[in-house]
Amino acid sequence: MRPLLLGVLGCSLLLSVRAFYSPDDDVVELTPSNFNKEVIQSDALWLVEFYAPWCGHCRNLVPDWKKAATALKGIVKVGAVDADQHKSLGGQYGVRGFPTIKIFGANKNKPEEYQGGRSSQAIVDGALSALRSLVKERLSGGSSGSGYKQQQSGSGGSKKDVVELTDDNFDQMVLESGEVWMVEFFAPWCGHCKNLEPEWTAAATAVKEQTKGKVRLGAVDATVHQVVSSRYGIRGFPTIKIFRKGEEPEDYQGGRTRADIIERALDLFSDNAPAPELLEILNEDVVKKTCEDSQLCVIAVLPHILDTGATGRNGYLEVMMKMADKYKKKMWGWLWAEAGAQLELEASLGIGGFGYPAMAAINTRKMKYALLRGSFSETGIHDFLRELSVGRGSTATFGGGAMPNIQSVDAWDGKDGQLPEEEEYDLSDVDMDEDFDKDEL
C-alpha cells in the first residue's frame, strides 16, 4: 500500500513523528519489528493507537493518551503505531482513519475496536472494562490471553494462499508470470522455518487481499526440489528471495514477522503497479466502483469539446495521466467528465458553469472534497495533491451531504465536436411586406 489516506481530509496539521511519543513516555512505540513480540505474543491486555503524524485529531489525543498510559502502567499496556510510516500494520488491522484505537485482549488476532471517549479518564475506564472482561473469560476457562497458540495453528491466514512451488512448476508459475513473487526456500527439519510458517501464512493471505494477487507468496521444500534450490544457491534455511519478471532475483533482507513481510510486499506492489486507469464518467456505476474502491478520488471537469477540440482535450487528459502515474502508489481513483454533462456533480462541488478545466479530490466515505485552486498543469496539480497528502488544504462538505445523481452519457469518441446542423426554412411564400405597412411607434 497502503498508504491510508481516509484521514487526509479530516486532519490539517503536520507534526514530526518524534513530537508524539518519546522513550520517556509510558506509551510504547510499536513498529513491524517489535509488534509481534510486544503485543501478539504478550499475555497482557494492550490498547494500541494507530495514528498519522499529520493528523490534527491525533495530535490533540497525545496528552490524554500519555496520561492514560501513565495511569494504567503495570495494569494495561498502552502503545502507538505510526500507521502512516508503517502502513502494513495499519492495513493488517483494517485501519481506515486516524486516530484508530484497538484493544488487543483475549484473541490477539482479532482485536476489538475501541468506541469510547478520547479523554484520559474515558480511555482508562475503557481499558479497565476490557480488562475485567478478559479476567472473567479466563476464569471461565477461556483463552489464556496471548492468542499465540492460535496464531501458530494458522488462524492468522490460510495455508492455501502460500503457493507450493516445485522443480516442475517453478519456471511457469514464477519466472513466466507477470506477478511479483516472494519465495521461501525451507527445510522441514529447520526450527527457524517452523517459526516462520505461521507468519508466512498470515502474510500470504493479507498480501493476496491487499494487492489483488499482484504479489504472491510461495514456498519451496529445498530438501525435495533440489534443482531449483541449487540454481539459486540456497545454502541456509529459511532463505527468502524476491522474483520480478526479467530481473535477477533479490535476497529479502527484512524482518521475519508478518508485518515486516507484508510491508515489503506492499512496497513491491507499489513499485510495480501500473498507473491507474483514467475513466470518463459515463454512469453512476463508474463513479461508485472507482471512488468506493479508492481512498481518494480525483475528478476533473474538462471544457466542452466544442471549446477545445480533440487536441485540447487530449492535452488535459495527458496531464491527468502523468499525475495518475506520479501518484500511483496512493492507489487513488481518477475520473473526468465534460462540462455540462454532470451538472448535479458540478453543483455539489461548487464548480458549475465556469472556470473549466476544474478539478476536485473527493473522499466519498467522509463526503468531503477539496478544489484545485491553482493552474490545471502538472505543477499546479502536483502542488494541490501534495498538500492533500500531508493533510493541508481547505476542504468542504458535499452539498446535501451525499453523492449527487450521476447521469448516463455516451462516451467521447475521441474526435472534434460538431455543431448541430441548422434547420433550413422555406420563406418563399411569406409576405415580407406585411409588417412594413404598419405605422411605426
Show which residues are catalytic. Answer: 55, 58, 190, 193
CA-CA distances (angstroms) from residue 305 to 173, 286, 316, 377? 47, 21, 12, 19
Sequence-distant (6+) residues with CB within 8 A of 72 are 26, 47, 78, 124, 127
Task: Spell out the residues 6+ positions from residue 273 whose beta carbon is closer than 8 angstroms to its own.
Answer: 214, 328, 329, 331
Helix (H, G, I), strand (E, B) or coil at 17: helix
Q: Regarding beta strands 278-280 and 250-251, do their DSSP bridges make them parallel or antiparallel, or are they unpaired?
A: unpaired
CB 202 within 8 A of CB 151: yes
CA–CA gap between residue 423 and residue 406 (Å, rounded): 32
Amino acid identity, position 20: F
Strands 46-51, 28-30: pairing is: unpaired
* Closest among 83, 119, 115 to 102, alpha carbons compared: 115
How do strand 368-371 and strand 333-338 relate by DSSP bridges?
A: unpaired
Residue 139: Cβ within 10 Å count: 8
Strand 278-280 versus strand 333-338 pairing type: parallel
Whole-angstrom CA distances from 36 to 202, 273, 385 are 12, 29, 35
Peptide bond into 188 cis (omega under 30): no
Residue 317 and residue 278 in contact, taking contact as beta carbons nearer than 8 Å: yes
Residues 174/180, Cβ–Cβ less than 8 Å? no
